[in-house]
Amino acid sequence: MIGQLVPQAPVTEPEPLPMQPEPPKPQPTPPKPRPAPVPPAPKAPPSERAVTAPPAELPAPPSPEPAVAEPSPAPPPPPVAAAPVAAEPAAPVIPPRSDAAHLSNPAPVYPAVSRRLREQGRVLFDVYILPDGTVGEIKLKRSSGFARLDEAALEAVRQWRYVPAMRGDQPIPFWYVQPIDFAMR
């Protein structure tokens, strides 16, 4: 047996191993958008108190040749500048006083029942004091919590006289907060 050929199995090439995928390339980050420019704030209208200077007039440039005389419109009248009002600053207001020694305003009578029941508190009144120092109107601003004490205080304040509020040398009407305390001693 010589020369006998033995059929050989076909040679198959080994299958290539699957390739590992390449790691993804980092994507370039998109550029961040720039913030939009902030528009300038609108200008506020001029204050009513603002004083403006009249615009400076520039001299006309010399004309190289005499121009033909054309009727020119009448020049606008100069702007009228408001004359600054030199108002005197208002004099400070001095509030009224009820503690002046010569006024001798009597203290409110502490009601006997309120004393026995040991009622105490503070009453606040809004008192309208006239320019002559008398009481024009009284409003209860805050109660003491006891009607008897509030009423006793109201009766006393109605009869009081005050040194009136003053603006400069002038007495003026004025709302004043008058506290009245009722306390057991």
Q: How far is CA 94 from CA 161, 168, 172, in A?
A: 16, 8, 10
Walk me through the domains of the chain, giving residue ranges and CATH numbers: 95-101+113-182 (3.30.2420.10)
pLDDT at 122: 97
What's the pLDDT tens digit per position in 111-161?
A: 999 999 999 999 999 999 999 999 999 999 999 999 999 999 999 999 999
Q: Helix (H, G, I), strand (E, B), or coil: what is residue 174?
A: strand
Q: How far is CA 60 from CA 57, 81, 87, 136, in A?
A: 9, 24, 40, 70
pLDDT higher than threshold 70 for residue 6: no
- List the beta bridge partners of residue 88: none
Query: Do residues 174 and 133 make contact, with C-beta atoms less than 8 angstroms apart?
Result: no
* CA dihedral sign of residues 34, 36, 40, 41: negative
Instruction: Give mean pLDDT, residues 29-44.
Output: 65
Interatomic CA distance for residues 70 and 63, integer angstroms = 14
What's the pLDDT tens digit per position in 42-70?
A: 555 555 554 444 445 555 555 555 555 55
What's the pLDDT tens digit per position in 69-117?
A: 555 566 666 665 555 555 566 778 888 876 665 678 899 999 999 999 9
pLDDT at 22: 65
